[in-house]
């Protein structure tokens, strides 16, 4: 990654663009360049009550996405249980709230055993010739069996040594998430963006986390309810970030 080039672009923006007029607010701000798209956040599970969103086949392995090209292949994972599958982007022209990183079919939600009240997923763009894609038929079959057999109160785990099954107890979940704005090479640049967001969006619960001497993460949060998380996320739309992420606090 050419950090020098990114830094030059970044500082050029702040030198000449910190006081952008309202006419220029639609310009997209780019702070991080990645070789492969990835995002963690909440998905919207399609149902017939969503009248403003184009219908998606309930039994399909398709999704709607905001930016990925049509027919792109993605790996979707439920971080709660580690179950993954491969899906195809059916369209990137369907309008839905930027708070959601995708719209999923009900079949995908079932296979991943998503909590419908908290459908948190990780999405990674993959190439069509990847090993994971080549094995997708087997993966779907195995995951379908897991989803079908999973009882309401937990997942049965077989212990071959004890020759009896143990039940995985699901503890009461605590809702706690933060919004990842971006990762920065220098702490000073993270501070500049923090001040800009605080000033223009009136968001106060910002913080900078030092991940390493060359990586500083700007976060908003934590949030303990989905309404305040969604309101703040949508408030960030005025900065036109292309890939805001929602991170689960652990």
- Could you state, in order of their start, the residue ranges of all structural domains in the chain? 3-30+174-248, 38-167
pTM: 0.68
CB 87, CB 108: distance < 8 Å: yes
CB 214, CB 6: distance < 8 Å: no
Query: DSSP characters for 177-229?
Result: EEEEEEEESSHHHHHHHHHHHHHHH----EEEEEEETTEEEEEEEEESSHHHH
Same fold, 3-30+174-248 and 38-167: no
CATH T-level topology, domain 3-30+174-248:
Alpha-Beta Plaits (3.30.70)
Report strand pairing: 73-77 vs 120-126: antiparallel
Quick one: which of 202, 194, 239 has its CA closest to 218?
194
Give the per-residue pLDDT at 174.
Answer: 85
Residue 163 zone, left/alpha/beta (φ > 0; ψ -120 to 50; rest): left
Q: Is 35 exposed, middle or buried (0-12, 13-18, 19+ CB in 10 A)?
A: exposed
CATH T-level topology, domain 38-167:
Barwin-like endoglucanases (2.40.40)
How far is C-alpha 121 from the chain's CA centre?
6
Maximum CA pair distance of the chain? 69
CB 126, CB 132: distance < 8 Å: yes
Helix (H) or strand (E) holding 17: helix 3-17
pLDDT per position in the chain (250 positions), as tens? 444 434 444 444 443 344 333 344 433 333 444 457 899 999 999 998 998 899 999 999 999 999 999 999 999 999 999 999 999 999 999 999 999 999 999 999 999 999 999 999 999 998 655 444 434 434 444 444 444 444 433 333 334 343 443 444 455 678 899 999 999 999 999 999 999 999 999 998 999 999 999 999 999 999 999 999 999 999 999 898 888 999 998 7
Give the per-residue pLDDT at 191.
Answer: 96
Give the per-residue pLDDT at 53.
Answer: 93
Give the per-residue pLDDT at 172.
Answer: 65
b/e burial code for range 62-94 (CB count within 10 A of at least 16 → b): bbbbbebeeebbbbbbbebbebbbbbebbbeeb
């Amino acid at each position: 990654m050419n950090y020098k080039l990114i830094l030059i672009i970044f500082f050029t923006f702040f030198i000449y663009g910190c006081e952008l007029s309202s006419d220029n607010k639609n310009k997209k701000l780019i702070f991080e360049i990645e070789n492969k798209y990835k995002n963690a956040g909440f998905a919207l599970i399609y149902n017939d009550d969503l009248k403003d969103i184009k219908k998606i086949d309930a039994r399909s392995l398709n999704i709607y996405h905001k930016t990925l090209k049509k027919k792109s292949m993605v790996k979707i994972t439920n971080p709660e249980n580690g179950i993954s599958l491969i899906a195809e982007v059916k369209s990137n022209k369907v309008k839905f709230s930027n708070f959601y990183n995708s719209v999923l079919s009900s079949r995908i939600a079932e296979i991943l055993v998503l909590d419908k009240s908290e459908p948190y997923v990780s999405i990674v763009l993959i190439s069509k010739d990847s090993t994971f894609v080549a094995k997708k038929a087997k993966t779907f079959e195995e995951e379908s069996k897991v989803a079908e057999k999973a009882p309401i109160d937990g997942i049965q785990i077989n212990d071959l040594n004890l020759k009896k099954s143990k039940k995985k107890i699901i503890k009461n979940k605590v809702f706690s998430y933060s919004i990842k704005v971006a990762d920065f090479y220098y702490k000073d640049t993270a501070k500049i963006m923090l001040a800009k967001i605080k000033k223009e969006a009136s968001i106060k619960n910002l913080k900078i986390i030092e991940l390493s001497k060359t990586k500083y993460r700007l976060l908003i949060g934590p949030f303990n309810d989905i309404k305040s998380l969604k309101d703040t996320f949508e408030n960030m739309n005025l900065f036109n970030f292309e890939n805001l992420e929602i991170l689960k606090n652990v």
